[in-house]
Amino acid sequence: MLEVSNLSFAYNAGREDAIQALSDVSLHVAPGELVAIIGHNGSGKSTLAKLLCAILAPTAGSIAVDGIPATADNVWEIRRRVGMVFQRPDDQLIANTVIDDVAFGPENLGLPRDEIERRVRDSLAALGLADLIHAQISELSGGEKQRVAIAGVLAMQPAYLILDEPTTMIAPSQARQLIGLARDLRDRVGLAVIHITHFMPEVVGFDRVIVLDGGRVLMHGTPREIFGRADELRAVGLSVPQVTDLARRLRARGVALPEVVLTAEELAVALFDHRPPLRQSSGQATNDHRNGTESQEPGIAQETGDGRRVTSDARPETRDQTPNPQPLLEARDLRYTYMDGTPLAQEALRGVDCALYEGETLALLGGTQAGKSTLIEFFNALRLPQRGHVFFEGQDVTAPGFDLDRLRQAVGVVFQQPETQLFEETVGKDVSYVPRRKGLPPAESRALVAQALTNVGLDYEAFRLRYIYALSGGQKRRVALAGVLAAQPRVLVLDEPVAGLDPRGRAELAALIIDLTRRLGLTVVLVGNAVDELAELADRAVVLHEGRVAMEGPLRALLRRAEELHALGLELSEPAEIALALHAVFRDLPTDLLRIEELEEALMNRLQIVNCKF
C-alpha cells in the first residue's frame, strides 16, 4: 500500500520565493490498482510523482510505501519499489542499446548476472520488445522508446509504476498501445500503475481517478463518477472524453442513455435498443427524411436513395471558385534520403508530387515518419532538391539566378515543437528578430511586433519584456508563431502546431489558428498526424505515406475512406472514430465528420426515424 497523508511540498521552502506546489494531499494506492492523476499544467502532478519515488522530500506530511516511511534513510528502498517513467523518452534513457538500458536499473541494484539477464528478457517480452532487444535506441520510434523506458523500470520489479505524461510526445496510436500495455502489466504481474495525463480517453479504464488542482486534491473517484461532473472539470481546464460529451448531448435531447458513457463501445451497446428497424421495414420514407435533414448542413455527404454517396464540395463558400492555374509552390517527383550513401541511409521522400495554390489552406497529413517535416523544409529552401524539383511561382528553385531570399521571405515556417526553437532572451526580441534583421526603423518594427503579438492573442504590453523561458508551452508556441508573422510571409506553414499540448492549451491554440487563417487570408499549410480540430480549416488535404502522396482531395471525401486512412497510419477525427465504432449499430453512419455536433445530428436523425415509427 502506498499511503500519502497530509502531504505538503514547497519548492525553495523557507525562502521568500517559495512556491507551494502541493498542499495537504492525502491519498492511497493499493497494490495492483490502476490510478490516474489528472490536472492542468502546474497543478502539481509531477511534483507529487517525484515525492512518491523519493526524488523530493516532503516539507510536511508523510509518505509510506508498503509500510516503509519515505525518509532519507530509506531512499533507495523506496525508489526500488516505486518506479517512474518521464515525459520525454530521450532524456531518461541512459545507454544506447535497448538491452543495456533495461539492464541499467537491475545493475544498480547489484543483482547477480543471470538474474539481471532474466529480468531484462522478461520485461522486454512483457512490453512486446523482444525483437528489438539489440536495437539502437536512436533507431526507435517515440512510442518504442517509451516502452523501453517502462521495461527499464519494470526490470527493477517495482510494486508501483508512475507514468508522468508518457504519451504527450508520441503518436496517438502508439499512446493507446502504451496505455494498453501498462494496464496489461497489472493483470500479469500485479503492478500498480499511477498514470499522470492530460488525455481523458486514456483514463477511462482505470480503477480510480484523482483530480489535482492548485496542489490540492479536487476530486477523487471512479472514472464514471469523475466524468459525470463535466462542468466542474471544465472549470479547472479539463475535459471529458468526446464520447462522454456526445452521450450527454444526446441525453439532453431525450435519448434514453445511461448517465455517463465512457467509451464508444459502451455507447454502441446503449444505442443498440434505439437502432433503426431492419432493412425490409425501413424503406423509402426514412431515406427521404434523412436527406431532408442532412441537406441543411453544408459540407456533409449526402446519400442518394440507392445508398451511393455523392460528395458535396467540401467548403464551397470559403474560397473563390476559379483555382489559380499556376501553383504558388509545387513539388515534382521530389526525393530525399537522409544520410545518403551511408549504412544509416533513411529514405524520407520517395517521389512526392504536390502543389500549393495561392490563398488556399492545405492540410498535409500523414502518420509518424511519413516525411511531412522533411517535405516542408523544401518549401522554404532550407533544403534544396537534389533529385526532383521544387517550383516557386513556376520557377525552379535550383535554377541559376533564382532568388532564394525571396522564397524564404515568402514562406514562413513554424517548425515542430517550436518552443525548442526560440533563441532570444525576451519575447519582444524574438518576435522582432526579422524586422531588426531587415533593418526596419524602430517604430515600424514595434508596430509589426505589436500586431504579431496581438494576432496570436498575447498582450503586447504585458509580454514584450517577458523572458522566453518563463512562458508556458502554449505561450511559447504563440511567440514562435508571432515571430514568423512579424516577417509578413505570404505562406504560413505550421508543423503539428497543437501536438503535445494539454487539452486547454490545445483548444485555445487551435481556435486561434482557425481565427488567424480566416482573418489574415494567408496561404496556409497545416501539417498534422491526425485529422484534428485544425483539419476542418482545410480546403484540401494531401496524405503522405512513406514518402509518397497516398491520397489527395477534399478532407471530407477522404474521411469517407476511413479504412484506407487507417491503413496509412492516420488517425481519423475523434467524431469519425466514434462513428466507426457505432457502425455495429448504425451501419450507414457517415464517417466524414469533423465536429461532435455533426455526429450528434447524424445520430439524432437516425434515432428520430425510430422515434417516428414507434
Partner 1 sequence: MAVVTRESPTTLNTRKIVVAGVLGAIAIVLGVTRLGFIPVPNVSGNATIMHIPAIIGAVLEGPVVGVLAGGIFGIFSLLQDTTGLFSNPLVSVLPRLLIGLTSWLAYRSLAGRNVYMAAAVAGVVGTLTNTIGVVGMLLIFGLIPFAAVATIIPQAIAEIVIAAVLTPLVVRGVNLVRSGRTSATETGPRDKSSF
Partner 2 sequence: MAVEFSRNITFGQYLNLGSPIHRLDPRTKILAVSALMFAILLTRTFGGLAVALVGAALIFAFARVPLGYTLRGMRLLANTMLVIFVFQVLFFRAPPERTLWSWWILSFSWDGVFQGSLTLLRVLLLYYLVNTLMFTTPLMDLADGTEIMLEPLKRLRVPVNELVMTLVVALKFVPLLVAELERLIKAQTARGARFDQGSLLQRARKLGAVLIPLFVNALGRAEVLTTAMDARCYRGGRGRTKRRVLTFRRADGLALGLALLLAAAAIVVSRVIGI
Ligand X SMILES: Nc1ncnc2c1ncn2[C@@H]1O[C@H](COP(=O)(O)OP(=O)(O)OP(=O)(O)O)[C@@H](O)[C@H]1O
Q: In the beta sheet, which residues pair with residue 27?
A: 4
| Interface with Mg ion, residue 263, by CB under 5 A | no
Dihedral, CA of residue 336, residue 339, residue 345 and residue 350, to nearest 10: 0
For residue 44, the SS3 value is coil
Q: Which does 497 bind (CB under 5 to 8 A by kind): partner 1, partner 2, Mg ion, none?
A: none
Among 131, 225, 273, 425, binds partner 2 (CB under 8 A): 425
DSSP state of 537: G
Among 24, 90, 259, 297, binds partner 2 (CB under 8 A): 90
| Interface with partner 2, residue 68, by CB under 8 A | no
Exposure on the CB side of residue 145, measured as CA atoms within 13 A: 23
Dihedral, CA of residue 52, residue 93, residue 168 and residue 55, to nearest 10: 20
Among 436, 548, 561, 566, binds partner 1 (CB under 8 A): 436
| Interface with partner 1, residue 278, by CB under 8 A | no
Among 1, 23, 62, 75, binds partner 1 (CB under 8 A): 75
Tell me the one-letter amino acid at 163. Answer: L
Q: Do 260 and 224 touch, CB atoms closer than 8 A?
A: yes
d(Cα 47, Cα 30) in Å, to the nearest integer? 20
Residue 570 grid cell: 492516420
d(Cα 153, Cα 101) in Å, to the nearest integer? 10
Show the binding pattern over residues 45-84: x = contacts Mg ion (CB under 5 A), - = does not: -x--------------------------------------
Nearer to partner 1, 468 or 551 (CB): 468
Which range, of 41-49, 352-360, 451-459, 601-609, touches Mg ion by CB under 5 A?
41-49
d(Cα 521, Cα 490) in Å, to the nearest integer? 9
Residue 29 grid cell: 494506492
Q: How far is the CB of 469 from ligand X (least distance, A)?
A: 12
Nearer to partner 2, 421 or 454 (CB): 421
Nearer to Mg ion, 369 or 432 (CB): 369
Among 200, 484, 494, 570, binds partner 2 (CB under 8 A): 484
Return residues touching ligand X (CB under 6 A): 11, 19, 21, 39, 41-47, 338-339, 346, 348, 366, 368-374, 416, 529
Nearest to 532 by CA among 559, 567, 560, 552: 559
Measured from the Cβ of residue 605, the count of other Cβ atoms closer than 10 Å reads: 18
Dihedral, CA of residue 38, residue 39, residue 41 and residue 44, to nearest 10: -90
Q: How far is the CB of 529 from ligand X (least distance, A)?
A: 5
Nearer to ligand X, 348 or 510 (CB): 348
Residue 6 grid cell: 497530509
Nearer to partner 1, 465 or 612 (CB): 465
Q: Footprint of Mg ion on this chain (CB under 5 A)?
A: 46, 373, 416
Binding footprint of partner 1 on the chain (CB under 8 A): 11-13, 17, 54-57, 72, 75, 425-426, 428-429, 431-432, 435-436, 440, 442-443, 445-446, 449, 464-467, 469-470
